[in-house]
Amino acid sequence: MSLDDNVKRSADAGVAGGHHGDVMALPEIESFRDPETKAAKAHYDDADIYRDEKGFNEHTLRPMFFTTKSYFIFTLALGLVMAQGLGFFVYQTFVGLGMAGIHEPVYWGAYIATFVFWVGMSHSGTIVSSILRLTQANWRRPILRAAEAMTAFSLMVAGLFPLIHVGRLWRAYYMVPLPSQRMLWPNFKSPLMWDFCAINIYLTGSMTFLYIGLLPDLAVARDKAIAMGNWRRHYLKVLALGWRGSHREWSVYNKCSLFLAVIILLIAPSVHTIVSWDFAMTMTPGWHTTIFGPYFVVGAIYSGIAAVITLMITLRILFNLDDVIRKFHIDALGKLLLVIAIIWTYFYFCEFITNWYSHKPEEWEVMAWQGHRFPYHLMVMLGGSCLTIFCLSWRRFRSCMPCMFALTLLVNCGMYIERYLIVVPILSRRDNPFMWTDYTPTITEVGIIVASFAYFIFLYAIFIKLFPIVTMADVKEGVIVSGDVRLGRHAVRVQVKE
Amino acid sequence: MRTLKESIKVKSFNYKKHNDYSWSMIIDLDRCNGCGACVIGCQAENNVATVGEEEVGKKRNMHWLRIERYIEGEYPHVKVRFLPMMCQHCAQAPCESVCPVYATYHNPEGLNVQVYNRCIGTRFCGNNCPYSVRYFNWFDSSFPEPVNNQLNPDVSVRERGVMEKCSLCMQRIRRGKDTAKDEGREVQDGDIQPACAQTCPTGAITFGNINDHESKVYKMAHSGRAISLFEEKGTHPAVKYLKGGTNDVIG
């Protein structure tokens, strides 16, 4: 039997499962058809999606297969923003890095701050999803895919910035450890080299994680695409790797995703620690601190979770997914954000208080110079800690979508400025007072950075149209493993097993 | 006829002999009057790009050697102090370890060497240099018609996007060593003079081999007036400064 036939049949069945002999379809979800569980269903806002699996598939694949006109207009607009950034970048490459505002002691400017920001953003997705997988948090299920995709895309954007920032782009391949006629080997003592390796490993790891998680959903999408005769079937057939949903496939899949979750959980903090070491390993006062490793990691997770919430709310509104991404999920993510906000505030305070107390002249000079930028700090403090912690403490705030949307945007603004404050003012107040200067970004830098945001959104928009954005398999699994327990007259929905 | 083993031995012996040099520069701060002749001498010798008024205003001047001016005291009892600042050729150089492509390394004669062809311009070295003496080529340098005739053929003109810095006039060191080798002797005081030392009207800058205990630089470095800049950083610079006298003349 050819693969196509097999696939077509399973498409008819409406599930990713096959159906002969040893191959078994996904078990029927009895609990949702059982009228007795009505009381349990009331626990959720609206359980329409659980009426039947086919309906659920249709519903969650809708953003993928049906595209509105406004989507094309939106992506075109993003394309224009990207084009202006590309123009600036090409011009800068051919004329010289002098187009950026960086100069003598401030050798790293907004480009590197943005690089750190994007690497930070990438820490949300994979790390959050692997923590939630390992801790078996049941509410994680619908958000996994969107979060993991965010990791991959923000890393892809982050990876561009070192290239934008180097002086000789056409020689950037010297960083690659290739045994070649050049007879040159990169310097593995350099934190930049560690960074290069770490980012590549993390990109590979998180892409694999994203792809493995996609497999069962790809199969569902493939079946639908073949049934519809949609052009997406061509790549979906290849990418789904002939997934049929057999017992063996599921068992291997579960083992693999658990294994990858553990690996990613080990890689992710080390990546941002290494990014922080780009700064902390130098002997520049203000950068050379032991706190930078954990501080950066927490900051990364912080801005990442905030970005996940922003994205979730956007997806929920744009693609009409209110029944999949519920208020309950945003509320749970809000609690997680609150915890991270408190930890981050602690680090922020620690960094300041030790410098202030010891009052070492060169380090205090940096602090005092940062003090001249009080509005920035106010923004970081408001967005990063005070306002966030205050607001997130209220359940009513956490389940209010527009409030959460605004707050998470504010958090990321604060975190961007925080990265800027780490890179720039410290360089403008170096050891040698003769060289003290200030730095302001030029239009070239602003243009490229704005384009990087557009690029991120663009990648995401494309992803939504090519791959299923909701983790369907995981949601279904959650439905299967949860059941009802009767306590007297009440039926309570619990998670039976995982 | 020499055997292969012998010739290797001879070669390595010569190589070791050459390593006996450890170059050092002593700058007498009490003699410096801040005239800036060394800056011009350096610029002419090393094909340092002139970037123009506007770029200098943005702190993008490329002077490998610069005169730092510090003012002591309150008006009217003001004293001006000058400090010629160039690459300190640190023995424990912070810039070397952070370069991802080995564009800067320590040569066996105690010099911190920049390899322009390897540099990809990450500017990490510039960020880790406490003296801020590494310069970046923000644009392609231009040497319009009459100026190109004075370019030094011994020194390469740098492309945009690479770091550069004081080399202690590497080309002159090479020539001095070659001449000494041809004459079958070691390099002595006065054989090699970097452009700045040659130009300095007050003779504040001295260059020599600090491994040679008879040399001027050795004696000056052990005179008790010698200091290193940012000694607490532990970089062990090869460039040392003499201070302790007065230069009240420039009051």
Question: Using CB atoms, which residue from A96, A108, A431 is nearest to B161?
Answer: A96
Calculate how close chain B gets to A203, using CA atoms only, in Å. Answer: 20
**Taking a contact as any Cβ pair under 8 Å apart, which residues of chain A between 298 and 337 contact chain B?**
none
- Whether pLDDT at B244 is above 80: no
- The answer to whether residues A208 and A234 touch, using CB atoms and an 8 Å cutoff, is no
- Whether pLDDT at B15 is above 50: no
Domain that holds residue A128: 3-66+102-440+468-495
Asked if B131 and A284 come within 8 Å (Cβ–Cβ), the reply is no
- Whether pLDDT at B199 is above 50: yes
Q: Which fold has domain B23-242?
A: Alpha-Beta Plaits (3.30.70)
Question: Using CB atoms, which residue from A165, A432, A437 is nearest to B59?
Answer: A437
DSSP codes, A382-416 = IIIIIHHHHHHT-HHHHT-HHHHHHHHHHHHHHHH
B102 backbone φψ class: left, alpha, beta (φ>0; ψ -120 to 50): left
User: What token pair was written down for A302?
Assistant: 């912080």
**Taking a contact as any Cβ pair under 8 Å apart, which residues of chain A between 209 and 228 contact chain B?**
none
Looking at residue B148, what is its pLDDT? 87
Domain boundaries, chain B: 23-242
Virtual CA dihedral for A67, A70, A74, A80, nearest 10 degrees?
Answer: 110
Asked if B59 and A432 come within 8 Å (Cβ–Cβ), the reply is no
Digit-coded pLDDT (tens) for A186-204: 889 999 999 999 999 999 9
CA distance A128 to A261: 10
User: What token pair was written down for B200?
Assistant: 């300095």
Helix (H, G, I), strand (E, B) or coil at B210: coil
Looking at residue A481, what is its pLDDT? 67
Instruction: Name chain B contacts of A281, Cβ cutoff 8 Å.
Output: 98
Chain A residue with minimum CA distance to B71: A434
Instruction: Name chain A contacts of B98, Cβ cutoff 8 Å.
Output: 189-192, 281-282
Return all residues near A410 (Cβ < 8 A) that are at least 6 apart: A382, A383, A387, A388
Would you say residue A141 lies in a domain? Answer: yes
Looking at residue A147, what is its pLDDT? 85
Question: How does A329-345 read in b/e, with b if 16+ C-beta sit within 10 Å?
Answer: bbbbbbebbbebbebbb
Chains A, B: CB contacts under 8 A, how many? 133
User: What token pair was written down for A227?
Assistant: 């049934």
Look up the pTM and report it.
0.86
**Distances in whole angstroms, Cα of residue A286 to Cα of each of A27, A109, A379, A429:** 59, 16, 20, 9
Tell the burial category of A482 from Cβ atoms under 10 Å away from its Cβ (0-12, 13-18, 19+).
middle
Asked if B136 and A107 come within 8 Å (Cβ–Cβ), the reply is yes
Check whether the bond before A177 is cis (ω within 30° of 0): no
CA distance B33 to B203: 11
CATH number at residue A17: 1.20.1630.10
Asked if A174 and B98 come within 8 Å (Cβ–Cβ), the reply is no
Looking at per-residue pLDDT, the higher value among B100 and B16 belongs to B100
Please state the domain count of chain A. Answer: 1
**Which amino acid appears at position A225 of this protein?**
A
Identify which of A469, A464, A498 has the alpha carbon closest to the alpha carbon of residue A142. A469
Looking at residue A330, what is its pLDDT? 87
Would you say residue A266 lies in a domain? Answer: yes
Looking at per-residue pLDDT, the higher value among B41 and A472 belongs to B41
User: What token pair was written down for B77?
Assistant: 């009892």
Digit-coded pLDDT (tens) for B116-158: 999 999 999 999 999 999 999 999 988 888 888 889 999 999 9
Asked if B131 and A103 come within 8 Å (Cβ–Cβ), the reply is no
What is the β-pairing status of strands A490-495 and B163-164? Answer: unpaired
User: What token pair was written down for B105?
Assistant: 């390394």
**Taking a contact as any Cβ pair under 8 Å apart, which residues of chain A between 184 and 203 contact chain B?**
184-187, 189-193, 196
Asked if A282 and B101 come within 8 Å (Cβ–Cβ), the reply is no
Under-50 pLDDT residues of chain A: 1-48, 498
Beta bridge partners of B239: B25
What is the β-pairing status of strands B239-242 and B226-227? Answer: antiparallel
Would you say residue A320 lies in a domain? Answer: yes
**CA angle A316–A322–A326, rounded 5-degree value:** 100
- Whether pLDDT at B233 is above 80: yes
Looking at residue B2, what is its pLDDT? 57
Would you say residue A460 lies in a domain? Answer: no
Would you say residue A79 lies in a domain? Answer: no
Helix residue ranges, H only, A166-291: 191-228, 233-239, 247-280
| B201 confidence band (pLDDT: 50, 70, 90) | very high
Would you say residue A78 lies in a domain? Answer: no
Calculate how close chain A gets to B172, using CA atoms only, in Å. Answer: 27
CA distance A190 to A371: 32
Asked if A434 and B85 come within 8 Å (Cβ–Cβ), the reply is yes
Asked if A96 and B135 come within 8 Å (Cβ–Cβ), the reply is no
- Whether pLDDT at B213 is above 90: no
**Taking a contact as any Cβ pair under 8 Å apart, which residues of chain A between 99 and 118 contact chain B?**
103-105, 107-108
